[in-house]
Amino acid sequence: MIHSDCIPSHCSQVVVLGSTGSIGLNTLDVISQHPDRFSVFALTANTSIELLAQQCLKFLPRYVVVGNGFSAMALQQILNDNHCKTDVLHGIQSLQDVAEHADVDIVVAAIVGAAGLLPTMAAVQTGKRVLLANKESLVMAGRLFMDAVIRSKAQLIPIDSEHNAIFQCLSEQFVDGESGTQVRKILLTGSGGPFRTWSVKDIRRANPEEACNHPNWSMGRKISVDSASLMNKGLEFIEAKWLFDVEPSKIDVVIHPQSIIHSMVEYIDGSVIAQLGNPDMRIPIAYGLTYPDRITAGVPSLDVIAVGQLNFEAPDMMRFPGLRLAMEAADAGTGAAATLNAANEVAVEAFLAQRISFGQVTDILQQIMNTAHWDEPMDLESVVNLDGIVRSMTREAISALD
Protein backbone atom coordinates (compact mmCIF):
# COMPACT_ATOMS: atom_id res chain seq x y z
CA MET A 1 0.00 0.00 0.00
CA ILE A 2 1.19 3.54 -0.81
CA HIS A 3 1.67 5.79 2.19
CA SER A 4 3.05 9.28 2.91
CA ASP A 5 6.31 10.22 4.56
CA CYS A 6 7.58 13.57 5.78
CA ILE A 7 9.24 15.29 2.84
CA PRO A 8 11.15 18.61 2.82
CA SER A 9 8.67 21.27 1.70
CA HIS A 10 11.23 23.21 -0.36
CA CYS A 11 11.84 20.33 -2.80
CA SER A 12 9.52 19.41 -5.64
CA GLN A 13 8.74 15.71 -5.41
CA VAL A 14 9.25 13.99 -8.76
CA VAL A 15 8.05 10.66 -10.14
CA VAL A 16 9.96 9.42 -13.18
CA LEU A 17 7.87 6.94 -15.14
CA GLY A 18 10.41 5.07 -17.25
CA SER A 19 13.57 6.08 -15.40
CA THR A 20 15.94 3.69 -17.22
CA GLY A 21 15.15 4.98 -20.73
CA SER A 22 16.90 7.91 -22.39
CA ILE A 23 14.37 10.49 -21.14
CA GLY A 24 14.50 9.07 -17.64
CA LEU A 25 18.30 9.08 -17.56
CA ASN A 26 18.44 12.68 -18.74
CA THR A 27 15.79 13.70 -16.22
CA LEU A 28 17.78 12.21 -13.37
CA ASP A 29 20.92 13.94 -14.63
CA VAL A 30 19.17 17.33 -14.46
CA ILE A 31 17.71 16.53 -11.03
CA SER A 32 21.14 15.53 -9.74
CA GLN A 33 22.43 19.01 -10.62
CA HIS A 34 19.76 20.65 -8.44
CA PRO A 35 19.36 18.63 -5.23
CA ASP A 36 18.08 21.75 -3.46
CA ARG A 37 15.09 21.95 -5.83
CA PHE A 38 14.09 18.35 -6.53
CA SER A 39 13.70 15.09 -4.67
CA VAL A 40 12.88 11.78 -6.33
CA PHE A 41 9.69 10.34 -4.90
CA ALA A 42 9.44 7.27 -7.16
CA LEU A 43 11.24 5.61 -10.05
CA THR A 44 9.74 3.04 -12.41
CA ALA A 45 10.99 0.66 -15.07
CA ASN A 46 9.85 -2.61 -16.55
CA THR A 47 12.71 -5.09 -16.24
CA SER A 48 16.00 -3.10 -16.21
CA ILE A 49 16.66 -4.20 -12.65
CA GLU A 50 20.40 -3.57 -12.32
CA LEU A 51 20.24 -0.01 -13.62
CA LEU A 52 17.12 0.68 -11.59
CA ALA A 53 18.88 -0.58 -8.47
CA GLN A 54 21.78 1.82 -9.12
CA GLN A 55 19.31 4.68 -9.47
CA CYS A 56 17.61 3.74 -6.20
CA LEU A 57 20.92 3.67 -4.34
CA LYS A 58 21.82 7.11 -5.70
CA PHE A 59 18.49 8.95 -5.42
CA LEU A 60 16.87 7.02 -2.53
CA PRO A 61 13.28 7.27 -3.77
CA ARG A 62 10.41 6.38 -1.45
CA TYR A 63 9.09 3.90 -4.00
CA VAL A 64 10.25 2.00 -7.04
CA VAL A 65 7.85 0.20 -9.38
CA VAL A 66 8.70 -2.65 -11.76
CA GLY A 67 6.65 -4.64 -14.24
CA ASN A 68 6.13 -7.95 -12.43
CA GLY A 69 6.57 -9.84 -9.20
CA PHE A 70 9.70 -11.69 -10.31
CA SER A 71 11.50 -8.44 -11.10
CA ALA A 72 10.26 -6.98 -7.82
CA MET A 73 11.77 -9.84 -5.80
CA ALA A 74 15.08 -9.56 -7.64
CA LEU A 75 15.25 -5.81 -7.08
CA GLN A 76 14.20 -6.09 -3.45
CA GLN A 77 17.08 -8.48 -2.80
CA ILE A 78 19.62 -6.09 -4.30
CA LEU A 79 18.26 -3.17 -2.29
CA ASN A 80 18.17 -5.21 0.93
CA ASP A 81 21.79 -6.24 0.40
CA ASN A 82 22.70 -2.57 0.15
CA HIS A 83 20.56 -1.48 3.12
CA CYS A 84 18.32 0.66 0.90
CA LYS A 85 14.87 1.27 2.36
CA THR A 86 13.07 2.06 -0.90
CA ASP A 87 9.76 0.17 -1.08
CA VAL A 88 9.49 -2.08 -4.14
CA LEU A 89 6.11 -2.34 -5.88
CA HIS A 90 5.02 -3.89 -9.16
CA GLY A 91 2.25 -3.79 -11.73
CA ILE A 92 0.15 -1.21 -13.55
CA GLN A 93 -1.91 -0.28 -10.50
CA SER A 94 1.26 0.61 -8.59
CA LEU A 95 2.35 2.81 -11.49
CA GLN A 96 -0.92 4.67 -11.23
CA ASP A 97 -0.66 4.85 -7.44
CA VAL A 98 2.72 6.61 -7.44
CA ALA A 99 1.70 8.89 -10.33
CA GLU A 100 -1.36 10.17 -8.48
CA HIS A 101 0.09 10.23 -4.94
CA ALA A 102 -0.85 13.36 -2.98
CA ASP A 103 2.77 14.17 -2.09
CA VAL A 104 3.90 14.25 -5.73
CA ASP A 105 4.35 17.56 -7.54
CA ILE A 106 5.82 16.54 -10.91
CA VAL A 107 5.38 13.39 -12.99
CA VAL A 108 7.76 12.77 -15.88
CA ALA A 109 5.83 10.54 -18.31
CA ALA A 110 8.63 8.76 -20.16
CA ILE A 111 7.30 5.22 -20.54
CA VAL A 112 7.49 4.27 -24.21
CA GLY A 113 4.32 3.20 -26.00
CA ALA A 114 0.77 2.41 -24.95
CA ALA A 115 1.97 1.17 -21.54
CA GLY A 116 2.36 4.78 -20.49
CA LEU A 117 -1.26 5.80 -21.06
CA LEU A 118 -2.91 4.79 -17.77
CA PRO A 119 -0.26 6.09 -15.33
CA THR A 120 0.07 9.31 -17.30
CA MET A 121 -3.69 9.78 -17.24
CA ALA A 122 -3.67 9.10 -13.48
CA ALA A 123 -1.18 11.94 -13.02
CA VAL A 124 -3.27 14.26 -15.17
CA GLN A 125 -6.54 13.44 -13.40
CA THR A 126 -5.01 14.37 -10.05
CA GLY A 127 -3.79 17.76 -11.28
CA LYS A 128 -0.04 17.19 -11.35
CA ARG A 129 2.52 19.02 -13.43
CA VAL A 130 3.02 16.38 -16.13
CA LEU A 131 6.16 16.46 -18.27
CA LEU A 132 4.95 14.56 -21.30
CA ALA A 133 7.36 12.46 -23.34
CA ASN A 134 4.89 9.61 -23.82
CA LYS A 135 3.35 10.86 -27.07
CA GLU A 136 1.21 7.73 -27.30
CA SER A 137 -1.03 9.07 -24.52
CA LEU A 138 -2.26 11.78 -26.86
CA VAL A 139 -2.11 9.67 -30.00
CA MET A 140 -4.33 7.03 -28.41
CA ALA A 141 -6.63 9.13 -26.24
CA GLY A 142 -6.60 12.56 -27.89
CA ARG A 143 -9.62 14.53 -26.76
CA LEU A 144 -10.19 12.33 -23.68
CA PHE A 145 -6.70 13.18 -22.47
CA MET A 146 -6.94 16.92 -23.11
CA ASP A 147 -10.41 17.09 -21.54
CA ALA A 148 -8.94 15.50 -18.40
CA VAL A 149 -6.17 18.13 -18.37
CA ILE A 150 -8.77 20.91 -18.50
CA ARG A 151 -11.02 19.37 -15.83
CA SER A 152 -8.23 18.71 -13.35
CA LYS A 153 -6.26 21.90 -14.13
CA ALA A 154 -3.16 19.79 -14.55
CA GLN A 155 -0.12 21.55 -15.99
CA LEU A 156 0.85 19.69 -19.17
CA ILE A 157 4.31 20.53 -20.49
CA PRO A 158 5.67 18.57 -23.47
CA ILE A 159 9.31 17.56 -23.22
CA ASP A 160 9.81 15.97 -26.62
CA SER A 161 12.31 18.40 -28.12
CA GLU A 162 9.98 19.45 -30.95
CA HIS A 163 6.85 20.02 -28.89
CA ASN A 164 8.78 21.73 -26.13
CA ALA A 165 10.25 24.03 -28.78
CA ILE A 166 6.75 24.87 -30.05
CA PHE A 167 5.63 25.45 -26.47
CA GLN A 168 8.51 27.90 -26.00
CA CYS A 169 7.78 29.68 -29.30
CA LEU A 170 4.08 30.19 -28.65
CA SER A 171 2.90 33.36 -27.00
CA GLU A 172 1.77 33.21 -23.40
CA GLN A 173 -1.76 33.99 -24.56
CA PHE A 174 -1.77 30.94 -26.82
CA VAL A 175 -0.56 28.69 -24.02
CA ASP A 176 -3.49 30.04 -22.00
CA GLY A 177 -5.82 29.14 -24.89
CA GLU A 178 -6.64 32.68 -25.92
CA SER A 179 -4.78 33.50 -29.14
CA GLY A 180 -4.92 30.51 -31.49
CA THR A 181 -6.11 32.73 -34.34
CA GLN A 182 -2.72 34.50 -34.30
CA VAL A 183 -0.86 31.36 -35.40
CA ARG A 184 -0.61 30.65 -39.12
CA LYS A 185 1.53 27.51 -39.04
CA ILE A 186 3.33 25.17 -36.69
CA LEU A 187 6.53 23.96 -38.33
CA LEU A 188 7.45 20.59 -36.83
CA THR A 189 11.08 19.79 -37.58
CA GLY A 190 12.77 16.41 -37.82
CA SER A 191 16.28 15.29 -38.70
CA GLY A 192 15.13 12.82 -41.35
CA GLY A 193 16.73 9.94 -39.44
CA PRO A 194 19.45 7.56 -40.63
CA PHE A 195 17.75 6.85 -43.99
CA ARG A 196 17.20 10.45 -45.08
CA THR A 197 19.28 10.02 -48.27
CA TRP A 198 18.68 6.30 -48.86
CA SER A 199 16.76 4.89 -51.82
CA VAL A 200 13.40 3.16 -51.36
CA LYS A 201 15.04 -0.18 -52.13
CA ASP A 202 17.79 0.27 -49.56
CA ILE A 203 15.36 1.53 -46.91
CA ARG A 204 13.09 -1.48 -47.32
CA ARG A 205 15.92 -3.95 -46.69
CA ALA A 206 17.57 -2.08 -43.78
CA ASN A 207 18.38 -4.10 -40.68
CA PRO A 208 17.69 -3.21 -37.02
CA GLU A 209 21.25 -2.04 -36.37
CA GLU A 210 21.05 0.41 -39.27
CA ALA A 211 17.59 1.62 -38.24
CA CYS A 212 18.75 2.29 -34.68
CA ASN A 213 21.81 4.28 -35.77
CA HIS A 214 20.31 7.76 -35.45
CA PRO A 215 22.69 10.52 -36.64
CA ASN A 216 21.86 13.09 -33.93
CA TRP A 217 19.99 11.60 -30.98
CA SER A 218 20.62 8.75 -28.56
CA MET A 219 17.28 6.99 -27.99
CA GLY A 220 15.76 3.62 -27.20
CA ARG A 221 15.43 1.05 -29.95
CA LYS A 222 11.69 1.41 -30.53
CA ILE A 223 11.83 5.18 -30.89
CA SER A 224 14.95 4.89 -33.04
CA VAL A 225 13.13 2.60 -35.48
CA ASP A 226 10.18 5.01 -35.55
CA SER A 227 12.58 7.86 -36.29
CA ALA A 228 14.12 5.88 -39.15
CA SER A 229 10.69 5.36 -40.73
CA LEU A 230 9.54 8.91 -39.83
CA MET A 231 6.65 7.29 -37.97
CA ASN A 232 7.91 9.09 -34.87
CA LYS A 233 7.41 12.36 -36.70
CA GLY A 234 3.95 11.19 -37.70
CA LEU A 235 3.02 10.42 -34.10
CA GLU A 236 4.39 13.83 -33.13
CA PHE A 237 2.18 15.36 -35.82
CA ILE A 238 -0.88 13.80 -34.17
CA GLU A 239 0.36 14.84 -30.73
CA ALA A 240 0.83 18.46 -31.86
CA LYS A 241 -2.75 18.57 -33.10
CA TRP A 242 -4.01 17.87 -29.58
CA LEU A 243 -1.38 19.67 -27.54
CA PHE A 244 -1.79 22.97 -29.35
CA ASP A 245 -5.43 22.61 -30.40
CA VAL A 246 -4.79 23.18 -34.11
CA GLU A 247 -6.14 21.54 -37.23
CA PRO A 248 -3.74 19.20 -39.07
CA SER A 249 -3.78 21.63 -42.01
CA LYS A 250 -1.92 24.14 -39.80
CA ILE A 251 0.98 21.76 -39.11
CA ASP A 252 3.86 21.28 -41.54
CA VAL A 253 6.67 18.74 -41.17
CA VAL A 254 10.09 20.10 -42.16
CA ILE A 255 13.21 17.96 -42.45
CA HIS A 256 16.17 19.70 -40.81
CA PRO A 257 19.24 17.42 -40.78
CA GLN A 258 21.28 19.38 -38.23
CA SER A 259 18.67 19.12 -35.42
CA ILE A 260 19.58 22.62 -34.23
CA ILE A 261 16.20 24.26 -34.81
CA HIS A 262 13.83 22.06 -32.83
CA SER A 263 10.63 23.55 -34.26
CA MET A 264 9.12 26.88 -35.32
CA VAL A 265 5.88 28.81 -35.13
CA GLU A 266 4.73 31.18 -37.87
CA TYR A 267 2.34 33.96 -36.88
CA ILE A 268 -0.20 35.73 -39.10
CA ASP A 269 2.02 38.83 -39.38
CA GLY A 270 4.71 36.75 -41.10
CA SER A 271 6.97 36.42 -38.06
CA VAL A 272 8.54 32.98 -37.59
CA ILE A 273 9.88 32.23 -34.13
CA ALA A 274 12.24 29.28 -33.70
CA GLN A 275 13.83 27.57 -30.71
CA LEU A 276 17.46 26.57 -31.25
CA GLY A 277 19.85 24.51 -29.17
CA ASN A 278 22.23 21.60 -29.21
CA PRO A 279 20.44 18.25 -29.68
CA ASP A 280 20.31 17.44 -25.96
CA MET A 281 17.14 16.30 -24.18
CA ARG A 282 18.22 17.95 -20.95
CA ILE A 283 17.17 21.33 -22.39
CA PRO A 284 13.42 20.61 -22.68
CA ILE A 285 13.45 18.51 -19.51
CA ALA A 286 14.99 21.30 -17.44
CA TYR A 287 12.51 23.80 -18.88
CA GLY A 288 9.61 21.51 -18.02
CA LEU A 289 10.80 20.96 -14.46
CA THR A 290 10.96 24.67 -13.60
CA TYR A 291 8.67 26.41 -16.13
CA PRO A 292 8.37 29.37 -16.44
CA ASP A 293 11.82 29.72 -14.86
CA ARG A 294 15.01 28.29 -16.33
CA ILE A 295 17.87 26.42 -14.69
CA THR A 296 21.24 25.12 -15.82
CA ALA A 297 21.01 21.69 -17.44
CA GLY A 298 24.65 20.80 -18.08
CA VAL A 299 24.29 21.52 -21.80
CA PRO A 300 27.13 23.35 -23.59
CA SER A 301 26.41 26.58 -25.43
CA LEU A 302 25.35 26.35 -29.05
CA ASP A 303 28.25 27.37 -31.31
CA VAL A 304 26.42 28.79 -34.33
CA ILE A 305 29.71 29.51 -36.10
CA ALA A 306 30.73 25.86 -35.85
CA VAL A 307 27.29 24.78 -37.08
CA GLY A 308 27.89 26.87 -40.17
CA GLN A 309 24.63 26.33 -42.01
CA LEU A 310 21.09 25.10 -41.49
CA ASN A 311 19.33 23.07 -44.18
CA PHE A 312 15.64 22.32 -44.71
CA GLU A 313 13.83 19.82 -46.93
CA ALA A 314 10.29 18.64 -47.54
CA PRO A 315 9.62 15.08 -46.32
CA ASP A 316 9.48 12.43 -49.05
CA MET A 317 6.21 10.54 -48.57
CA MET A 318 7.16 7.95 -51.19
CA ARG A 319 10.22 6.84 -49.26
CA PHE A 320 8.59 7.29 -45.85
CA PRO A 321 4.94 6.19 -46.16
CA GLY A 322 4.57 5.90 -42.38
CA LEU A 323 4.47 9.68 -42.13
CA ARG A 324 1.68 9.82 -44.69
CA LEU A 325 -0.31 7.20 -42.77
CA ALA A 326 0.01 9.19 -39.55
CA MET A 327 -1.11 12.40 -41.22
CA GLU A 328 -4.14 10.59 -42.62
CA ALA A 329 -4.90 9.19 -39.16
CA ALA A 330 -4.71 12.68 -37.67
CA ASP A 331 -7.49 13.74 -40.05
CA ALA A 332 -9.54 10.56 -39.50
CA GLY A 333 -9.72 10.89 -35.70
CA THR A 334 -8.58 9.32 -32.45
CA GLY A 335 -9.78 5.81 -33.34
CA ALA A 336 -7.63 5.81 -36.46
CA ALA A 337 -4.63 7.20 -34.57
CA ALA A 338 -4.97 4.60 -31.80
CA THR A 339 -5.20 1.87 -34.44
CA LEU A 340 -2.07 3.06 -36.21
CA ASN A 341 -0.15 3.30 -32.95
CA ALA A 342 -1.06 -0.21 -31.80
CA ALA A 343 -0.22 -1.76 -35.17
CA ASN A 344 3.07 0.11 -35.30
CA GLU A 345 4.18 -1.02 -31.84
CA VAL A 346 3.59 -4.67 -32.75
CA ALA A 347 5.20 -4.35 -36.19
CA VAL A 348 8.30 -2.58 -34.84
CA GLU A 349 8.69 -5.25 -32.19
CA ALA A 350 8.57 -7.91 -34.92
CA PHE A 351 11.15 -6.01 -36.97
CA LEU A 352 13.53 -5.72 -34.03
CA ALA A 353 13.12 -9.48 -33.50
CA GLN A 354 13.99 -9.89 -37.22
CA ARG A 355 10.68 -11.56 -38.01
CA ILE A 356 9.85 -9.02 -40.70
CA SER A 357 11.83 -6.60 -42.85
CA PHE A 358 11.90 -2.84 -42.37
CA GLY A 359 9.81 -2.37 -45.50
CA GLN A 360 7.20 -4.80 -44.24
CA VAL A 361 6.57 -2.62 -41.18
CA THR A 362 4.74 0.04 -43.18
CA ASP A 363 3.22 -2.61 -45.48
CA ILE A 364 1.55 -4.14 -42.44
CA LEU A 365 0.46 -0.75 -41.14
CA GLN A 366 -1.22 0.01 -44.45
CA GLN A 367 -2.93 -3.39 -44.40
CA ILE A 368 -4.28 -2.83 -40.88
CA MET A 369 -5.45 0.70 -41.65
CA ASN A 370 -7.26 -0.61 -44.73
CA THR A 371 -9.04 -3.43 -42.92
CA ALA A 372 -9.58 -2.30 -39.30
CA HIS A 373 -12.88 -0.79 -38.23
CA TRP A 374 -12.97 1.71 -35.41
CA ASP A 375 -15.33 4.08 -33.67
CA GLU A 376 -14.25 7.15 -31.80
CA PRO A 377 -13.44 5.92 -28.25
CA MET A 378 -15.72 7.45 -25.65
CA ASP A 379 -13.68 6.48 -22.60
CA LEU A 380 -10.34 4.94 -21.60
CA GLU A 381 -11.82 1.45 -21.53
CA SER A 382 -12.75 1.83 -25.21
CA VAL A 383 -9.21 2.99 -26.00
CA VAL A 384 -7.66 0.00 -24.24
CA ASN A 385 -10.08 -2.43 -25.92
CA LEU A 386 -9.34 -1.02 -29.37
CA ASP A 387 -5.62 -1.21 -28.69
CA GLY A 388 -5.91 -4.90 -27.78
CA ILE A 389 -8.01 -5.77 -30.84
CA VAL A 390 -5.60 -4.07 -33.22
CA ARG A 391 -2.58 -5.72 -31.63
CA SER A 392 -4.17 -9.15 -32.19
CA MET A 393 -4.96 -8.27 -35.81
CA THR A 394 -1.40 -7.13 -36.39
CA ARG A 395 0.12 -10.26 -34.86
CA GLU A 396 -2.06 -12.37 -37.14
CA ALA A 397 -0.93 -10.36 -40.16
CA ILE A 398 2.70 -10.88 -39.17
CA SER A 399 2.19 -14.60 -38.58
CA ALA A 400 0.71 -14.90 -42.08
CA LEU A 401 4.08 -13.74 -43.45
CA ASP A 402 6.08 -16.47 -41.66
**Which of the 8 DSSP states describes residue 116?**
G
Q: Is 136 annotated as a binding residue?
A: yes
**H-run or E-run covering 118:** helix 117-125
DSSP of 256-300, one letter per residue? -TT--EEEEEEETTS-EEEEE--S-THHHHHHHHHTTS----SPP
* Residue 232, marked binder: yes
Tell me if 296 sits within 8 A of 272, measured CB to CB.
Answer: no
Q: Is 262 annotated as a binding residue?
A: no
* % helix, strand, coil for the chain, step of 5: 50, 15, 35
Q: Is 22 annotated as a binding residue?
A: yes
The reply to whether 9 sits in an annotated binding site is no
Residue 135 known to bind ligand: yes
The reply, when asked if residue 278 is annotated as ligand binding, is no
d(CA 357, CA 347): 10
- How many C-beta neighbours within 10 Å does residue 50 have? 11
Q: Is 36 annotated as a binding residue?
A: no
134 is in an annotated binding site: yes
The answer for residues whose C-beta is within 8 angstroms of residue 54's C-beta and 6 or more apart is none
What is the C-alpha separation between 11 and 28, in angstroms, rounded?
Answer: 15
160 labeled part of a ligand binding site: yes
Are 208 and 334 in contact by the 8 Å Cβ rule? The answer is no
Q: How far apart are CA 13 and CA 104, in angstroms?
A: 5
Cα(198)–Cα(241) distance, integer angstroms: 29
227 marked as part of a ligand binding site: yes
Half-sphere exposure of residue 101, counting CA atoms within 13 Å on the CB side? 25
CA distances to 161, 247, 280 from 45, in Å: 22, 35, 22
Whether cis (ω within 30° of 0) applies to the bond prior to 292 is yes
236 annotated ligand binder: yes
Nearest to 123 by CA among 28, 284, 233, 13: 13
State yes or no: 209 annotated in a binding site.
no
Give the closest residue to 17 by CA, choosing from 52, 54, 58: 52
Amino acid type, 279? P
Q: Which of 320, 330, 336 is nearest to 377 (CA)?
A: 336
Query: Is 251 a known ligand-binding residue?
Result: no
Known binder of ligand: residue 233?
Answer: yes
Binding residues for 1-deoxy-D-xylulose 5-phosphate: 135, 161-162, 191, 214, 227, 232-233, 236
Binding residues: 20-23, 134-136, 160-162, 191, 214, 220, 227, 232-233, 236
Binding residues for Mn(2+): 160, 162, 236
Binding residues for NADPH: 20-23, 134, 136, 220
